[in-house]
């Protein structure tokens, strides 16, 4: 069921972030923080997409971990936008919820991959 994959969710999140960027630039005339959240928020899905063509388990894990770090960075920028009143509480909570969900999914993936890699190393 594609709707439950981190790839699907990260793309939908990127669309929301792009729309947030347009809103912040057009309506709030904010150009610095908005560019930062645009970069990190769209980078999540880009790294997940790149992980699909990983040449090894370590490469795959690296791309997922980079996406996880971008997710954490995005939460930081969203928090700043909220605390400086560029976005409302409802906007912040909705975006934070989506970001947290992706973060949990990627964290679980990295833990599973590391565990499987350790088991594989022990079996050799």
48-99 per-position pLDDT tens digit: 999 999 999 999 999 999 999 999 999 999 999 999 999 999 999 999 999 9
Predicted pLDDT at 124? 64
Question: So what CATH class is 2-116?
Answer: mainly alpha
Domain ranges (residues) in the chain: 2-116
- Please name which of 89, 109, 103, 72 lies closest in space to residue 9, comparing C-alpha atoms: 103
CA–CA separation, 51 vs 34, rounded Å? 26
Here the tokens at position 10 are: 């990260």
**Is the distance from CB of 41 to CB of 14 less than 8 angstroms?**
yes
Q: What is the mean pLDDT of the chain?
A: 94
* Count of Cβ atoms closer than 10 Å to residue 23 Cβ: 15
């Amino acid at each position: 069921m594609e709707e439950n994959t981190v790839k699907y969710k990260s793309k939908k999140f990127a669309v929301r972030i792009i729309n947030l960027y347009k809103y912040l630039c057009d309506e709030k005339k904010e150009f610095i923080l908005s560019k930062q959240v645009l970069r990190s928020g769209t980078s999540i899905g880009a790294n997940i997409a790149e992980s699909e063509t990983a040449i090894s388990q370590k490469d795959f894990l690296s791309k997922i971990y980079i996406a996880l770090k971008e997710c954490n960075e995005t939460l930081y920028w969203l928090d700043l936008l909220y605390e400086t009143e560029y976005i409302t509480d409802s906007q912040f909570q909705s975006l934070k919820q989506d970001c947290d969900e992706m973060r949990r999914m990627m964290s679980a993936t990295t833990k599973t991959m590391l565990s499987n890699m350790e088991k594989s190393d022990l079996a050799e």
